[in-house]
Amino acid sequence: MPCGEGGGSPAQLPTNVFRAEVVMMAERDRASVSPRPLVTWLLLVLACVVGGSSRAATTTYSSAWGGGTIMPGDAVVLLDGASLTGPVVANGLLEFGQTGQINPGGIISGTGGFAITAGGTVFLSKPSAPGVVALELAASIPFGRMAVQNTWPLDLYVGSSGTGSLTIANGGVDSAAGVVGSAALASGSVGLTGGWWECSDALTIGGSGRGELTIDGGTVVTRLGYVGRDAGGLGTISISSGTLRSGAVIGRGDIVIGEAGTGTLRLSGGRIEDGTGFLGRLAGGRGTAVITGGTWANFTNLGIGMWGAAEMSIDGGV
């Protein structure tokens, strides 16, 4: 078994812990061990530290994985029908190859990534209140669907209290509310080049934190839309292709750029559809729209500078 190998488990013993144990053993037996074995011990430590830091392992599951920590460079692949039943810190890669179930205790975090790659549906669930699943890592859907739900839809936060990102290329996400950049120090980004994100409740880009939504293809549908919702929040939407539509359930909803925070809309192509659009709606809010192409269709009204500050420039588009 290679140094630091744990029987194929993705949660490996950290090499610095292993090194400390070996050195302690060598120091303990210094009086009874000749110099040559001590040198051998230290060479073994060096080999494990150097070799262990670059070793990569892939572990696959076809049934249940209880969660844990995925070390940098390692990967856990959940095959068709597999499930994740506990918290996970993905400092490596967590990948779903087919349809499966995730119950991560409300949050998937780490310095690595989470990907849905083979066209199946991954169900993100959380049985206890509050009904929120948070992504605090780099998530991607090159091909597949993410359904955030128990038997009812749950909210999806991208960057709840830390940093998270989500990219959608060919597939999509279904959730209740969506929040990108929730708490004051949080940062989140979502990018679409195809596919969809459908929120049966409100979509917020920049709650109290920093949020960014980029649409370069695909469709985002929500009941209501907020960009820069809370005081101190900073939100940006950039659309070059594709569609942002507010009014997922009944009629057409509003899109507010700068509710009580700072919101910016950059439209160079594609289409926005809403009931009423607002720029700078509440006191302290600031909304800016820069339109160089595309279409912003307000089916009721467009309110510019209600009780907040607003700025709008049009140099193209309809």
Reply yes or no on whether the pLDDT at 7 is more than 80: no
User: How much is the pTM?
Assistant: 0.82
Task: Convert the pLDDT of each residue in 229-287 to its tens digit.
Answer: 999 999 999 999 999 999 855 558 999 999 999 999 999 999 999 999 999 999 999 99
More confident residue, 33 or 131: 131
Position 120 scores a pLDDT of 86
Position 2 scores a pLDDT of 37
Position 248 scores a pLDDT of 55
Residue 129: pLDDT band (50, 70, 90) is low
Position 55 scores a pLDDT of 47
Read off φ and ψ for residue 32, nearest 5 degrees.
-110, -5
Domain ranges of the chain: 15-53, 58-314
Residue 240 CA from chain centroid, whole number? 22
70-93 per-residue burial string, b: 16 or more CB within 10 A, e: under 16: bbeebbbbbbeebbbeebbbbbbb
Mean pLDDT of 294-301: 94
Mean pLDDT of 33-44: 40
Task: Convert the pLDDT of each residue in 165-174 to its tens digit.
Answer: 999 998 999 9
Q: Is 31 exposed, middle or buried (0-12, 13-18, 19+ CB in 10 A)?
A: exposed
Q: What is the mean pLDDT of the chain?
A: 84
